[in-house]
A and B are shown apart, each in its own frame.
Chain A
Amino acid sequence: MRFTPEVLLDLEEQSKIRLSDERREKVASEMEAFLECVDAMKKTDTEGMEPLYHIFPTTNVFREDEVTNTNRREELLENAPDQKDGYFKVPVTLE
C-alpha cells in the first residue's frame, strides 16, 4: 500500500482539499489503481526516443511586443471575491 494515511494527508494539504474519513479509504484504493497504470507504462522501453511535450507539432508561436489591453480594473475586480481601494482583497497572508 503506497497511499498510507500520511501520504494522503500530505496530498490533501498540497491539493487544498479535505477528504472525509470514509472517502479516504476509497480514494486510496483508486489512487493505487492509477499508480499501477503508471507502473505498467514505466516498463515500456523508451530507449532512444525523444519525449513528446505537445501533441501539436507547432513551435515558435509569438505575439509582437505591443500593449493591446486597456485599463479594465473595475470589470476585472467584479470577479474578485472581495475588493478594497482597487485591490483584490484576501485573508491576511504573511511571507
Chain B
Amino acid sequence: MANFETVMGIEVHVELSTKSKIFCGCSARFGDEANAHVCEGCAGMPGTLPTLNRRVVEYAVRAGLALNCEISRFSRFDRKSYFYPDLPASYQVTQLYHPICKNGHLDIVADGKTKRIGINRIHIEEDAGKLVHDDWDDCSLVDYNRCSVPLIEIVSEPDFRSADEVVAYLEKLKATLQYLGVSDCKMQEGSMRADINLSVRPVGSEKFGVRTEMKNMASLKSIARAIAGETRRHIDAIESGETLIQETRRWDDNKGFSFAMRNKENAKDYKYFPDPNLMPVIVEEEYIREIRASLPELPEEKKARYIREFGLPEYDADILTGSRYLVAVFERAADICKNPKEASNWVMTELLKLLNDAQMQPEDMKFSPDSLGTILNMLTEGKINRAVAKKTFAEVFESDVDPVDYVRKNGLMQVSDTGSIEPVIREVLDANRKAVSEYLAGNEKSIQFLIGQSMKALRGKGDPQVVRDLLIKGLDERKG
C-alpha cells in the first residue's frame, strides 16, 4: 500500500458572474423559478443565431492573466456533440482547438512546501441545463435556466500527488477568481465544479497508470474523501490483478464509493468541429495590457502587505486573504477604526466563529461593510463595553441592523459615570454580605463574583474598569 503514488490532474469549471448568458440576452442569475430565463436561442431551437457576450472574453482573459497564462491572440469555438436532454441543441459550444489561454501556473502551499501547479489551458464554453428526476411520474424534468450560462474550464497538468495539494489548489483558485470578480465560486450552488483525473502507479515508475475521471463532488471535504476512496479502489484492483478501465465515474459521497457513469460522459465520439455560427475572437496586445493594468491586488501580494504594513501574524494574514469577502470586511473596518490589528482580531475570532456557528461561507455574508468599523469605534470611544460590542456584532451578522441604532434602541450605551454606578455598587455590597466578608478575609477572588453581580444589575452596560474601581473603593470602606 505504501509503495503506490497517486497522480492527479484537475479540470475546474467556473461559472462567470455575467449578468446575461453567453450567446443570448437571457439572465444568467441562479435560483429563480425553472425555465424563467430561456429563449429560442438557449433552448436550442433551429434558426437561432448566437452572439458572443463581450464580458465573457474579458473575464476569461482576466483569469488567464492572474493564472500566469499566455493569452491566445486568436481563439475560436467548436461544437462538441452529445445527445442528452440537458443540452437542447445536442451540442455544447466550447474551445477545443484554439483555447483563449494556455501554459499558465499557480503556486500553492501544501504539506508545508510551496509547489508550482501547471495550468495546461483555460477555455470558454457554455453550461448545460439541469435535470430533475421525478420518481412519482416516472419521468425526468428539465430546467434550462443554466443552459448557456458562460463557463471557463481551467485544466491543470497532472501535477498533484496528494489530496492536500488538490484542496490547497482549489482554495487558492477560488480566492483568486473571487478577487478578480469573474465568479462567485460557490461549490454548493455549482458555480465552481472540480473533476479529478486520477491514476495510481508504483513509486518510482515513470509510466502513468490507467486513469479514471471523477465527478459530482459538492465540497472540498467530499473531494478529499473521493480522492482517498478512488485511490483505494485503484490500488485494490492493481493488487488483485483486476483490469482498470479508463472511464468517467460519479462519486457517491454517502456510500463513499465511485460508480461508472453510463451515458453522456462515456460517449465515444463527440464529433468536434468548428462552429460555423461564431466568428473567431482576436485579442489585441493593447487590450491585454489594459486588462493586466486593471487586475486587483491578488491574495499573495495582499498577504505580504498585511504582514509588512499592519504587522499581522502570517497565519492571520493567510486566513484573511483567503477570501475576498473577509478582506472586504477587514479592510473597511480597519479603514474606519484606524486600527488594523484590532479589526483583524475581530474578523479572526468573532466573525469566523459566527460564520462557523451559522455553517456559512464568507461569500454568504449579508451585513453592511461599515458596521464592524462603527462598532469598534464605539468600543474605543467607551460608548459600549466589549460584551455589548460582541452582542451588537452578532446582531449585525444575523440581521444587518445598524449598530448605532441597535445600541440606542436597546439602551446598551456604556454606563461609566460614577454617579450612576455608585448606588448600584452599594446595593450589591449590601445584598452579598458573604462575598464581602470573604473578600475582607483575604479571598480576593470573590471580587469576580461581585463584579458579575454589579454588571448584571447594570444590565451588562457598566464600564468594567469603573465598576471594578468603585467596588474596591466600597470594599475598602467596609474594612474598618
B431 in the interface, Cβ–Cβ < 8 Å?
no
User: Hey, which chain A residues are within 8 Å of B456, CB to CB?
Assistant: none
B445 to chain A: closest CB distance in Å? Answer: 65
A78 to B84, CA, bound (A): 20
How many A-B residue contacts, CB cutoff 8 Å? 129
A84 touches B19 (CB 8 A): no
- B202 contacts chain A at the CB level, 8 A cutoff: no
Do the beta carbons of A60 and B281 come within 8 Å of each other? yes
* Given A63-B53, A69-B25; A77-B35 close (CB under 8 Å): yes
CB distance from A81 to the nearest CB of B (A): 11
B140 touches A93 (CB 8 A): yes
- A53-95: which residues lie under 8 A (CB-CB) from chain B? 53-54, 56, 58-69, 71-73, 76-77, 79, 84-95
> CB distance A65 to B53 under 8 Å?
yes
Given contacts A86-B33, A88-B144, A92-B140, contact A59 B282 (CB under 8 A): yes
Contact of A76 with B280 in the complex, beta carbons under 8 Å = no
Q: Which of A14, A63, A64, A84 has the most CB atoms of chain B within a 10 A radius of its CB?
A: A63
Contact A84:B35 (CB < 8 A) given known A54-B280, A59-B279, A69-B25: no
How far apart sit A92 and B133, CA to CA, in the bound complex (Å)?
7
Summarize B's interface: helix, strand, loop or mixed.
Answer: loop
Judge if B316 is at the interface, Cβ distance under 8 Å.
no
8 Å CB contact of A93 from B54, B55, B85? B85
| CB-CB contacts below 8 Å: B30-72 with A | 33-40, 43, 45, 51-57
Which residues 7-37 in A have Cβ within 8 Å of B in the complex?
A: 14, 16
**Cβ of A61: which chain B residues have Cβ within 8 Å of it?**
51-52, 278-279
Q: Are A53 and B76 within 8 A (Cβ)?
A: yes
User: Which residue of A58, A71, A79, A89 contacts B36 across the interface (Cβ within 8 Å)?
Assistant: A71
Q: Which of B20, B265, B278 has the most CB of A within 10 A?
A: B20
Q: How far is the CB of B139 from chain A (nearest CB, A)?
A: 5
Q: In chain A, what residue has the closest Cβ to B282? A: A59
Asked if B84 contacts A87 (CB within 8 A), the reply is no
The docked-state distance in angstroms from the alpha carbon of A76 to that of B26 is 13
Residues A60 and B282 in contact, CB atoms below 8 Å apart: yes
Q: For the complex, what is the distance from the CA of A69 to the CA of B40, rounded to whole Å?
A: 11
- Check A73–B38 contact: CB distance below 8 A: yes
Question: Closest chain B residue to A53 by CB distance?
Answer: B274
Complex Cα distance, B142 from A89, in Å, reads: 6
Q: Are A64 and B280 in contact (CB under 8 A)?
A: no
**Inter-subunit contact A67/B140 (CB<8 Å):** no
Contact among B20, B36, B265, B278 for A73, CB-based, below 8 A: B36
| Chain B min CB distance to A5 (Å) | 18
Given contacts A63-B52, A93-B140, contact A69 B85 (CB under 8 A): no
List the B side residues contacting A89 at CB < 8 Å: 137, 139-142
* With A14-B269, A54-B279: A63-B54 Cβ-Cβ less than 8 Å: yes
Contact B140 A54 (CB under 8 A): no
Given contacts A61-B51, A73-B38, A76-B38, contact A84 B250 (CB under 8 A): no
B34 with A94: CB separation less than 8 A: no
Asked if A91 contacts B38 (CB within 8 A), the reply is: no
Which B residues, 268 to 324, have Cβ-Cβ distances below 8 Å to chain A? 269, 271, 274, 276, 278-282
A60 → B minimal CB distance (Å): 6
Given contact pairs A73-B38, A94-B263, A62 touches B131 in the complex (Cβ within 8 A) = no
Cα A27 to Cα B139 with chains together (Å):
35
Q: Please name 16 pairs of A and B residues whose Cβ atoms are closer than 8 Å in the assembled complex, sorted by A.
A: A53-B76, A53-B280, A54-B274, A60-B280, A61-B51, A62-B54, A65-B56, A72-B39, A79-B45, A85-B34, A86-B33, A87-B34, A88-B142, A89-B140, A90-B85, A95-B262
Beyond contacts A65-B55, A69-B27, A84-B134: 14 other A-B pairs, Cβ-Cβ < 8 A, are A14-B271, A56-B279, A59-B279, A63-B53, A65-B19, A65-B54, A67-B19, A69-B24, A73-B33, A85-B141, A87-B142, A88-B141, A88-B144, A90-B141
Closest 9 CB pairs of A and B: A68-B25, A87-B141, A65-B55, A62-B54, A88-B142, A63-B51, A69-B25, A90-B85, A93-B140
